Each structure stands twice: as C-alpha cells, then as structure tokens.
C-alpha cells in the first residue's frame, strides 16, 4: 500500500504563499496552501496594480522636483549633472548576466490561468517544454481545471492560447498542459542537470507573483535535498519532494515557473515557500521570506515525459507503509497499512528485501532519512527498477539490505 496523506502538522513548507498556521509559532504546515484568486471586477488585483502605479508616480514626481531644484540652484555655477550617452538600449549584456538570461528565457515562459467549471481559479506560471506546445507547470496551478475547467496560457508578447491538461501528478506536484493551435516558433527552455547543482550557485526565478506577470528575481541555491511536503488544500493527497532551496524571491503566482542557473538552464520548478502567516502587499496573504523550494528538474523531466506519453504519473515505491509522524528517528514501517491492509505488501519490494513492520529506515543509499515524508521524497527522486540500499534499525541493531523499487501508476 502507498503511504496515506499526512494529517496537518507544523514546520513543513507549504505551497507558495500558504497562509495556514501550525503549532510552531505561525509557520506554515501541511495542508496550508494558496491559490491566487481570479480577479474580480474592480477588486483585489486592480487595486494592487493601482497602488503600485500611484506609488511609482509619487516617487517619480518627487524625484523630478528634486532634480529641478538642484539644477536651478546650480545655475551659473557650472552644472554638476552627468548625462549618459545612451538610454541603455545599446548596452552590451554579456551571456551569463541576469539581463541576458532573462531576455532569452522570458519569451518561453507563460502565465497560466486555470478556472474550474464553477468559475473558481487562479494564476500560476509554466514554461515551454517542447516544440509541440507542451507546457510544464505545477499540479496545484491547474488542479481547478482538471475536471471540465478551462486553461489558458499567455506569453510575454501578449499572445494568449487556450490549452488543455494533458496529465497531472498530485504526488509529484507536476502537470503538463498543451497549447491549442500552438505556434510554430516555440523555443523550449534548455534543461540543466539538477544533480550537479551546488550550494551557492546563482539562481534566477521567473513567474507571476501576485499576478504580476513576467517578474524576474535572483538568488542562490541555499540548500539541496530539503524534504518538503504539502497539499493543494482541496483534500487531495500530499506532494513530496526532495527540493532545491533558494532565496530568490518566490511568491503566490510563481508556482510552476522555471528556476534557472546562471547560464539560463532550467534546474527546477518553483513550487513552495516557507512563509509567515501574514504579509504580502497589505492583502493579508503570505509572501516570500527567502525560503523558496523547487522540484529538481531531473525528477520533473521524467514525470513530464511520462505524463505526455501516457497521461498518468508513475511512482517508484518500496511496497511498505511508513509513519508520517515526527520523532520516530527515521521512517518507521507501520504495524498496519491503510484501510486495515498489511503494512508490507506480500511479495513486494520491501518484503523481498526482508523488511518488517516496526523496522525504522534511517538511510537510503547515503542519504539520511529522518522521517516518513523524507523517505517518500527520496524514493520519488528515483525511477521504478532502480536498486537502492536501505539502512534500518531492528531491535536496537543496524542492518542493511538492497531493494529494487517497484512502481505504482496513477494518483489513487
């Protein structure tokens, strides 16, 4: 049996902008989530944009007034103003600069609008995966549109295309949509190698935070292999990832957008943030505090290819139910599976490897396992058929065993 979804628990990063409170002093927990609401006429997003524009005008007016005063005061004493010979349009931006990377990547990044059959929905981000019109994004971005809803993608040049959901994976939090009447000049973003990413590497995130499309932010890789568990807040099963952590500013609406390296290669899909329970342009919605999490692209690429091929996700599994509680010192195999089934599948991978209920798995290969969600996230970075080495404790003794991962098709 597959591990069942976790109950609400504190201290685990939520989907981007999740505003739920856990017991850990306002940190976001399992099940807390954010979906950017569809704009209402004369409502939220319009006011947000208006506020930003007014602020810009005030600042511009103030700057202009000060500039005029200073120039007037210097009349007759020799001007101290230094003018640029160009407006910036002719400045050479070498490959590898943020401006150069953004200029190349932005035309292949889209803002996604997803709407359910009842009219509820929100916005997110995606990027061009191939020349056939497939766009990769997060499952929670398009979840509203899966059953009879609508999806559309808008490019930075303003061109908007209706789309359809090709496949979605709740557990991985990856989805693929396909543009209807896709243009012939699509340029897929180049995919990097997330396994080779190092802490301290530069990152560039592109998305539509709070509906502000085509926003570019920068940062570094703060950590690797962060266990992250969250749900879309709609009662679906949890998503697990062994994430790339970045301090690039990621906010609601960045979900599904590309996390790029300094060369412009996609190394991850921006998916979640750890946030406080308030903040965010005065709307009461949570925003970035510099703890963003992305699905490694090596995993997302495999998932996307399976979704395009079959429309369904394929998950690696060990064939055992593990506890999702903390404080077990690892991933403890439960005494009973979901619905009263056996916690170790008879004849399954764990059974064949000699694992039993009560065993506590502490390592997968060289990766330390400190909880059930951590184990699930690590297993899902592998493919069915991969052989792994598990270290576990039984009766106070440490043991090791080799296990060949099995497979499960679909989210049910």
What's the mean pLDDT in 80-87? 56
Residue 390 has pLDDT above 90, yes or no: yes
Quick: pLDDT tens for 324-342: 887 778 999 998 776 667 8
Q: How many residues does the chain have?
A: 412
Q: Which of 29-43, 91-105, 135-149, 349-363 has the highest mean pLDDT?
A: 349-363
Quickly name the fold that domain 314-409 has. Answer: Pdz3 Domain (2.30.42)
Chain mean pLDDT for the chain = 79
3-state secondary structure (DSSP) of residue 190: coil
Query: Which one from 255, 286, 321, 323 is the annotated catalytic residue?
Result: 255
- Concerning whether 140 is annotated as a catalytic residue, the answer is yes
How far is it, in rounded angstroms, from Cα 295 to Cα 304?
A: 12
Which H or E run contains 408? strand 406-409
What's the mean pLDDT in 65-70? 38
Quick: pLDDT tens for 29-64: 322 333 333 444 433 333 233 333 333 333 333 333
Quick: pLDDT tens for 120-131: 878 899 999 999
Range 358-391 burial, b when 16+ CB lie within 10 A, else e:
ebbbbbbeeeebebbbbbbbbbbbbeeeeebebb
- Concerning whether 173 is annotated as a catalytic residue, the answer is yes
Query: Which one from 134, 140, 168, 382 is the annotated catalytic residue?
Result: 140
How far is it, in rounded angstroms, from Cα 376 to Cα 1?
A: 13
What phi and psi, each to the nearest 5 degrees, are found at residue 191? -90, 135
Residue 80 has what pLDDT?
Answer: 56
Lowest mean pLDDT among 30-39, 203-212, 274-283: 30-39
Residue 282 has pLDDT above 80, yes or no: no
What's the mean pLDDT in 112-135? 91
Query: Which one from 16, 144, 173, 261 is the annotated catalytic residue?
Result: 173
How far is it, in rounded angstroms, from Cα 294 to Cα 66?
A: 44
Residue 243 has what pLDDT?
Answer: 93
Q: How confident is the model at residue 252 (pLDDT cuts 50, 70, 90)?
A: confident
pTM: 0.77
How far is it, in rounded angstroms, from Cα 383 to Cα 314?
A: 8
Q: How confident is the model at residue 147 (pLDDT cuts 50, 70, 90)?
A: confident
What's the mean pLDDT in 301-320? 95
Task: Name the architecture of domain 14-35+189-309.
Answer: Beta Barrel (2.40)
Q: Which of 31-40, 80-89, 241-250 has the highest mean pLDDT?
A: 241-250
Can you give the residue ranges of every domain in the chain?
14-35+189-309, 106-179, 314-409
Domains 14-35+189-309 and 314-409 belong to one CATH topology: no
Residue 34 has what pLDDT?
Answer: 33
How far is it, in rounded angstroms, from Cα 15 to Cα 293?
A: 9
Which H or E run contains 270? strand 266-273
What's the mean pLDDT in 331-359? 89
The domain 106-179 having CATH identifier 2.40.10.10: the answer here is yes
Q: How confident is the model at residue 372 (pLDDT cuts 50, 70, 90)?
A: very high
Residue 87 has what pLDDT?
Answer: 52
Tokens representing 266? 């996609």
- Concerning whether 335 is annotated as a catalytic residue, the answer is no
Residue 12 has pLDDT above 50, yes or no: no
């Amino acid at each position: 049996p597959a591990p069942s979804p976790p109950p609400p628990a504190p201290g685990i990063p939520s989907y981007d902008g999740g505003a739920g409170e856990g017991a850990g002093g306002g940190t976001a927990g399992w099940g807390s989530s954010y979906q950017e609401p569809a704009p209402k006429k004369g409502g939220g997003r319009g006011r947000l944009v208006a506020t930003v524009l007014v602020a810009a005008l005030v600042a511009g007016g103030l700057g202009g007034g000060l500039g005029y005063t200073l120039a007037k005061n210097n009349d007759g004493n020799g001007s101290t103003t230094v003018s640029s010979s160009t407006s910036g349009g002719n400045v050479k931006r070498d490959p590898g600069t943020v401006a150069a990377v953004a200029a190349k990547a932005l035309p292949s990044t889209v803002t996604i609008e997803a709407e359910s059959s009842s009219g509820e929905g929100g916005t997110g981000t995606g990027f061009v995966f191939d020349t056939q019109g497939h766009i990769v994004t997060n499952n929670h971005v398009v979840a509203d549109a899966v059953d009879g809803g609508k999806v559309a993608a808008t490019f930075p040049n303003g061109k908007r295309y209706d789309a359809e959901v090709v496949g979605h994976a709740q557990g991985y939090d990856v989805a693929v949509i396909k543009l209807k009447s896709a243009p012939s000049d699509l340029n897929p973003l180049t995919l990097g190698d997330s396994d080779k990413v190092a802490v301290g590497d530069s990152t560039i995130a592109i998305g539509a935070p709070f509906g502000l499309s085509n926003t570019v932010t920068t940062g570094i890789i703060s950590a690797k292999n962060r266990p992250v568990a969250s749900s879309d807040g709609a009662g679906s099963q949890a998503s697990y990832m062994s994430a790339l952590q970045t301090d690039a500013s990621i906010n609601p609406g960045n979900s599904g957008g590309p996390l790029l390296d300094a060369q412009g290669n996609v190394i991850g899909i921006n998916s979640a943030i750890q946030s406080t329970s308030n903040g965010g342009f005065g709307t009461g919605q949570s925003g970035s505090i510099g703890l963003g999490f992305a699905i490694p692209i090596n995993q997302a690429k495999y998932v996307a290819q399976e979704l395009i091929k079959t429309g369904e996700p394929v998950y690696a599994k060990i064939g055992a139910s593990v506890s999702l509680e903390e404080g077990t010192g690892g991933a403890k195999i439960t005494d009973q599976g979901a619905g009263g089934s056996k916690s170790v599948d008879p004849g399954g991978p764990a059974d064949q490897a000699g694992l039993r209920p009560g065993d506590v798995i502490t390592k997968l290969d060289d990766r330390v396992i400190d909880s059930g969600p951590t184990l699930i996230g690590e297993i899902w970075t592998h493919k069915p058929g991969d052989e792994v080495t598990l270290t576990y404790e039984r009766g106070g003794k440490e043991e090791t065993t080799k296990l060949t991962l099995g497979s499960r098709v679909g989210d049910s």
